[in-house]
Structures are given as structure tokens and as C-alpha cells.
């Protein structure tokens, strides 16, 4: 989709000005995907981009591509709210975050800032200040998007934009990608610089990308890495994927998810370039037991960063769910020491136990629940939030970059296959995701690669 859009620009069959106009015209405020839409600025950038294509001088491999940016990442000239009223910046950002600057340098056009869970501190995706985005995969019953990169995932899943930036600490890109039926990439912690990004957990915060397909993701990463052509997913030897046995990341899945996952794994065994290995990975159970006993680094660092907001009038302005999580996190500061001290050892254990393979599991252990069910009570919200994040927070602690990929009926059900690698092996996870991605349904569906359709067909 992204490659074909850029190719249409190159052939003069479409223009950035026409596509961006379609994005702006097609957005409905009631969708709550965006907290800020920079219409005038985006149009100016699109006009300049169109002129560069016409002169045969594109800035880079993403020239003219409209993108959305999670509203905890600075974009020059746009406000940064962090999904909050008490932590919002009083003025617009004066400069781009490093990752936004890198995308701009390759020709991408930020059209606006996307909604998120307040302070990026929830896996559900609700927001009482900016409204709650509804999962575009919903039919009769509104479903949660997942969070905290709720607006980013929904904007891509709806066809509003072909690429969105997010952040992922405990699952905030991977979870909404799975729930919304798109591809979501959580980078290794040092893969991209975090200058200009609001932090929740300095130890575990990472950046991520959301795109319609794994091929789109690979195309964008290749552009960011200085190339214009995405790497061939079929190059190299077979990809080895370990499905862990005897561990809850698979065994604890809801029956619907377990059945879908089993079918997907059986299908993958038929692929020439995929090798499935079913064996225990004891490090997963050991790391989970450690966090269950002593708490999480995310909770401890979130309290260190935002615990001050529980004092004084600010507390009354916070999302009550965030208040509960912060209060619960206050005690973790005193207990989390063993979790932190063993992190390096356990990350090395992942590498050793995988032995050159990658981990394969469901991204989330259940399908996206109805918004009304999650928000029915404080107890329900907290229970759902913990379960939604249980797999991804474990893999974040183990330092694993990962890509959530919808496959088969999972795209409709809001389920994702999560392929994860040892820290630093991001390209291996992306290549594997390309082999896993089943895009037949996308090709059979209406051509949503016409971003912002129908307005985007204008040639400007």
C-alpha cells in the first residue's frame, strides 16, 4: 500500500496534495482518532511535496506520505497534550522529536496528533478528556481499540492514514495493532532516539510504527535506514519460530484465540520459509513470576514520573483509572529491586533459549472487549487492563522488539500473531512478520490504499 502510493506519486498518477486533502476532508471529528489536525500546515507541506515530485526531486523514499503522530511525541507547531489536561504543554512544540524529524527528512507529512490513553498509562485506549476512539473493526457493538496508542491504530485501521507513530512501553503499539487489525512494530529500546517524546518508563519506553501490512512496515523502515527499497522477505534461510510449551502466554489464551492461533500455526508449517518449533522457554515463566511477586518496572517508574499529580487539585482532573494505577504503583518503588537487578540476566537467557529462533505467540490472549463492558466498573476496567497487557508487558521486560501481524480471520476478530526477537534483532522480527502476514483479505476488500478516499482522487 505505502510503496504503491509512493509509486503513484512518482508516476504522476496521484499527488501528495490530493491525498492529504482527502485525509483532511475524510476525517470525522466524532471518531476521536485525532487530538489535533494541522490542516493548513499539512496542505502547505503537501503542495511543496507535489512540486518536488513534479520537478523530479523527491526528498526521500517517503515523499508525500501522510502520517499521524501519537500525542506524546513533539511535532513542531503542534501542541503536545499527552492525552491529558494536567500534563499538556501550554504552548505548541518548538521543534520535532527526533523520529518525526527523520520521517520529515524522507518526505513524510505529519497531518496531526493522535489520541491516546492519558499519560500513555493504559492498555485499554479510553480517554475522558479527548473522547474515546471506537475500534474501526466494530460492527454493532463498539469495541475498545487497545492502548495506549489508540488513535494511531484506529487512524491506520480506518484507512485515514497509511502510517502512524506510536510509543510502546507495556504493549501500547502491539496491543492496539492486534485489536484494530493492523501491523504494529515495537522497536528495541535504543533503535530510535526518544528526544522530544514524553516518557512513562525511561527504562522500557520505545517507539513504534503502525501500518496496514508488514510489507508497508518494511518499506518505511528501509527508508528510515537510508534505503528506498524494502528488503526481500524471502531472502536468507528459513525463519525459525518457537511456540512456547508449558507457558501461559499461549496456554492462558481464551478458547477463541487458542483455536485461531492453532490454525494459524498449522498454516505456517506449510510455508517453505518458516520452521515451527514447539518447546519450553523457561525464562518466560521465571520472568512472569518475578513481576507477579515484586511488581513491574513500568509501575515504579510511572509513579516516579507522575506520582506528583496525585497531590493537590491535579488529581481531580486525571482519568480515575490513571489515578488508581498511580496509587497502586506507589508501593512498587519499594519492592521492584529484584525485577530490575535481574533484567539483564533474563534478557540474555531469552537469547540463549531461543538459540537463533524467534518467539511466536498471540499478541493478546483475548479478542477486543466491548467498551461498555470494560468501563462498567472500576473493577472491570482494572481487570481488563491487566489482562490485555499481560503478554506484552512480559516481553517488554525481556527487551524483545516485536511485530504484531493480523492473519486470516484474526484481522476481523481483532487478533494478532506476535513475533518477537531478542533485544537488538529488530530486522529479524520485521522479516518474519512479512512472511507471516496474510494480506489476502486486504486485497479482497475495498481499496483502502486510496487513503482518505473518495476525496484523495483529486489530482491537484
List, edge to edge, every strand of the sheet that includes 109-114: 34-37, 109-114, 66-70, 163-168, 206-211, 183-186, 402-405, 417-420, 358-362, 239-244, 274-279
Catalytic residue among 117, 148, 188, 201: 148
> How many whole angstroms separate alpha carbon 172 and alpha carbon 395?
12
C-alpha torsion angle, residues 417, 419, 420, 425 (rounded to 10): -150
**pTM for this entry:** 0.94
- 207 alpha-carbon distance from chain centroid: 8
> Distance (Å, rounded) from C-alpha 234 to C-alpha 128?
45
Distances (CA, A) of 447 to 4, 405, 451: 12, 19, 9
- 2-457: CATH, from 3.90.1300.10, 3.40.50.300, 3.40.50.150, 2.40.160.20: 3.90.1300.10
Residues in the chain, overall count: 460
Cα angle 32, 438, 11 (rounded to 5 degrees) comes to: 75
Rounded Cα distance, 248 and 284, in Å: 9
Q: Which of 107, 61, 68 is nearest to 229 (CA)?
A: 61
The catalytic residue among 49, 84, 122, 172 is 172
Q: How many helices (H) and strands (E) does the chain have?
A: 21, 11
Q: How many Å apart are CA 46 and CA 58, to the nearest integer? A: 12
pLDDT at 445: 35
Query: Is 186 a catalytic site residue?
Result: no
SS3 200: coil
E strands along 97-169, which residues?
Answer: 109-114, 163-168
| Cα–Cα distance, 1 to 15 (Å, whole number) | 15
Q: What is the pLDDT of residue 438?
A: 82
Concerning whether 70 is annotated as a catalytic residue, the answer is yes
Domain boundaries, the chain: 2-457
pLDDT per residue rounded down to tens, the chain (460 residues): 899 999 999 999 999 999 999 999 999 999 999 999 999 999 999 999 999 999 999 999 999 999 999 999 999 999 999 999 999 999 999 999 999 999 999 999 999 999 999 999 999 999 999 999 999 999 999 999 999 999 999 999 999 999 999 999 999 999 999 999 999 999 999 999 999 999 999 999 999 999 999 999 999 999 999 864 444 565 678 999 999 999 999 999 999 999 999 999 999 999 999 999 999 999 999 999 999 999 999 999 999 999 999 999 999 999 999 999 999 999 999 999 999 999 999 999 999 999 999 999 999 999 999 999 999 999 999 999 999 999 999 999 999 999 999 999 999 999 999 999 999 999 999 999 999 998 754 433 333 334 444 333 333 3
* Phi and psi based region of residue 153 (left: phi greater than 0; alpha: psi -120 to 50; beta: remaining): alpha
Is 172 considered catalytic here? yes
Q: Does residue 251 contact residue 364 with C-beta atoms inside 8 Å?
A: no
Amino acid at each position: 500500500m505505502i510503496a504503491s502510493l509512493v509509486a503513484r506519486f512518482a508516476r504522476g498518477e496521484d499527488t501528495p496534495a490530493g491525498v492529504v486533502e482527502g485525509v483532511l476532508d475524510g476525517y470525522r471529528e466524532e471518531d476521536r482518532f485525532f487530538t489535533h489536525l494541522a490542516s493548513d500546515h499539512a496542505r502547505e507541506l503537501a503542495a511543496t511535496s507535489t512540486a518536488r515530485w513534479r520537478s523530479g526531486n523527491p526528498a526521500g523514499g517517503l515523499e508525500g506520505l501522510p502520517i499521524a503522530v501519537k500525542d506524546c511525541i513533539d511535532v513542531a507547531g503542534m501542541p503536545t497534550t499527552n492525552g491529558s489536561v494536567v500534563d499538556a504543554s501550554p504552548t505548541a512544540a518548538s521543534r520535532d522529536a527526533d523520529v518525526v524529524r527523520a520521517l520529515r527528512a524522507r518526505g513524510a507529512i505529519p497531518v496531526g496528533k493522535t489520541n491516546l490513553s492519558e499519560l500513555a498509562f493504559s492498555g485499554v485506549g479510553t480517554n475522558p478528556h479527548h473522547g474515546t476512539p471506537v475500534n474501526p473493526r466494530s460492527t454493532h457493538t463498539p469495541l475498545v481499540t487497545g492502548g495506549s496508542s489508540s488513535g494511531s491504530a484506529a487512524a491506520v485501521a480506518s484507512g485515514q492514514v497509511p502510517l502512524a507513530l506510536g510509543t510502546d512501553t507495556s504493549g501500547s503499539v502491539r496491543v492496539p495493532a492486534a485489536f484494530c487489525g493492523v501491523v504494529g512494530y515495537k522497536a528495541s529500546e535504543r533503535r530510535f532516539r526518544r528526544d522530544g517524546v514524553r516518557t512513562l518508563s525511561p527504562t522500557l519506553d520505545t517507539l513504534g510504527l503502525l501500518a496496514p501490512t508488514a510489507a508497508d512496515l518494511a518499506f518505511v523502515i528501509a527508508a528510515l535506514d537510508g534505503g528506498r527499497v524494502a528488503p526481500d522477505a524471502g531472502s536468507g534461510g528459513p525463519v525459525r519460530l518457537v511456540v512456547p510449551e508449558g507457558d501461559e502466554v499461549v496456554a492462558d489464551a481464551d478458547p477463541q484465540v487458542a483455536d485461531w492461533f492453532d490454525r494459524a500455526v498449522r498454516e505456517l508449517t506449510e510455508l517453505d520459509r518458516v520452521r515451527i518449533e514447539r518447546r519450553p522457554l523457561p525464562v518466560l515463566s521465571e520472568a512472569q513470576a518475578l513481576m507477579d511477586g515484586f511488581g513491574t518496572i513500568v509501575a515504579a517508574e510511572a509513579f516516579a514520573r507522575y506520582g506528583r499529580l496525585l497531590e493537590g487539585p491535579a488529581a481531580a482532573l486525571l482519568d480515575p483509572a490513571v489515578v488508581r494505577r498511580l496509587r497502586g504503583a506507589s508501593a512498587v518503588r519499594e519492592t521492584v529491586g529484584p525485577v530490575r537487578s535481574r533484567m539483564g540476566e533474563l534478557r540474555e537467557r531469552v537469547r540463549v533459549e531461543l538459540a537463533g529462533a524467534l518467539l511466536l505467540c498471540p499478541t493478546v490472549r483475548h479478542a477486543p472487549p466491548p467498551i461498555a463492558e470494560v468501563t462498567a466498573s472500576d473493577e472491570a476496567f482494572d481487570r481488563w487492563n491487566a489482562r490485555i497487557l499481560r503478554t506484552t508487558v512480559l516481553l517488554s521486560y525481556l527487551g524483545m522488539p516485536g511485530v504484531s501481524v493480523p492473519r486470516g480471520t484474526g484481522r476481523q476478530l481483532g487478533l494478532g500473531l506476535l513475533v518477537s526477537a531478542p533485544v537488538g534483532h529488530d530486522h529479524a522480527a520485521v522479516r518474519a512478520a512479512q512472511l507471516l502476514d496474510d494480506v489476502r483479505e486486504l486485497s479482497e476488500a475495498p481499496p483502502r490504499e486510496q487513503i482518505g478516499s473518495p476525496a484523495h482522487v483529486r489530482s491537484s
